[in-house]
Amino acid sequence: MGKKILVIEDEVELGKIIQEYLKRHNYQAVHTSDAANCLETIRKERPDLILIDLLMPRVHGFDICITLKSDHQLKEIPLIVMTGVYKSPAFKDKAKEIGVEDFIAKPLDYKELLKKIERFIGPGTLTEVERAEPEKLIRPAPEEKKKIKNFIKEQLMELRQDFASRLPAKILELEQIWENIQNRENTKKQLAKFRKLVHRIIGTGHNLGLKELTDNAMELELIVDMIIIEGEEAISKRKNKIDQLLDNLRHHPLVATGIEVSKHIITP
What confidence tens digit (pLDDT) does each residue in 93-112 have? 888 899 999 999 887 888 89
Q: Residue 77 in contact with residue 50, Cβ under 8 Å?
A: yes
Q: Is the pLDDT of residue 265 over 90?
A: no
pLDDT of residue 144: 61
Q: Which of 118-122, 139-143, 196-200, 214-218 reaches the highest mean pLDDT?
A: 118-122
Any domain includes 148: no
Based on the domain organization, do 135 and 47 belong to the same domain? yes
Based on the domain organization, do 183 and 103 belong to the same domain? no
E strands, 12-101, in order: 28-32, 49-53, 79-83
Any domain includes 150: no
Based on the domain organization, do 8 and 135 belong to the same domain? yes
**Could you tell me the sign of the dihedral formed by the alpha carbons of 197, 202, 207, 210, in that order?**
positive
Any domain includes 218: yes
Kindly report the pTM of this predicted structure. Answer: 0.64
pLDDT band at 25 (very low <50, low <70, confident <90, very high): confident
Q: What percent of the chain has pLDDT over 70?
A: 86
Q: Which residue has the higher pLDDT, 25 or 208?
A: 25
Any domain includes 15: yes
Q: From CA 5, how far away is CA 22, in angstroms rounded?
A: 8
Find the mean pLDDT for residues 190-209: 83
pLDDT of residue 182: 94
Q: From CA 71, how far away is CA 42, in angstroms rounded?
A: 12
Q: Which helix (H) or strand (E) holds 103?
A: strand 102-105
Any domain includes 197: yes
- How many C-beta neighbours within 10 Å does residue 168 have? 24
Domain that holds residue 239: 165-266
Q: From CA 109, how far away is CA 105, in angstroms rounded?
A: 8
Q: Is the pLDDT of residue 200 over 50?
A: yes
Based on the domain organization, do 117 and 181 belong to the same domain? no
Number of domains composing the chain = 2
Based on the domain organization, do 93 and 212 belong to the same domain? no
Please identify, among 87, 104, 139, the residue that sits at the C-terminal boundary of a domain. 139
Rounded to 10°, the helix 145-182/234-250 angle is 140
Q: From CA 2, how far away is CA 128, in angstroms rounded?
A: 8
Based on the domain organization, do 31 and 132 belong to the same domain? yes
Any domain includes 149: no
Any domain includes 227: yes
Q: Is the pLDDT of residue 261 over 60?
A: no
Based on the domain organization, do 222 and 114 belong to the same domain? no
